[in-house]
Amino acid sequence: MITPPIVSNVYTKPQKNGKIACSHKILDARLVTPNGFSISVASEWIENPEHEDYDKQDCECKAFMRLATKLKKIYPRLPLIILADAFLPLRRIFYSL
């Protein structure tokens, strides 16, 4: 079995062929035009603090809460429409907007 490279905050997943896939996860807020062109306006890394203790893994919902706070601070008067996958319909997400 191949050992993964030593890089901080990397998600690793063993594959059927014995190799290990490494990735970084990020939540991205984008401005999408009617013709499908998209521009990133803010991003939030999904990662656990490197030098802090934590009881739960970071996830998309937690990253969304941080990203929503960041968006409200950067663009306080910009009306937003949220287009997301199935993780979003949580009560705390809806009430945070």
Q: What is the pLDDT of residues 52-74, one digit of tens each?
A: 665 566 777 788 888 888 998 99
CA nearest to 10, candidates 47, 39, 38, 41: 47
The verdict on residue 7 lying in a domain is no
Residues 6+ apart with CB under 8 A from 40: 28, 29, 30
13 belongs to a structural domain:
no
| ∠ Cα 26 60 41 (to 5°) | 45
Number of independent structural domains in the chain: 1
**1 in any annotated domain:** no
Q: Which domain range does residue 88 map to?
A: 27-96
**Is 16 within the bounds of a domain?**
no
Answer yes or no: is 14 within a domain: no
Question: What's the pTM?
Answer: 0.65
Given a cut of 50, the residues of the chain with pLDDT beneath it are 1-5
What is the model's pLDDT at position 54? 59
Q: Residue 28: which region, alpha, beta or left (left: phi > 0; alpha: psi -120 to 50)?
A: beta
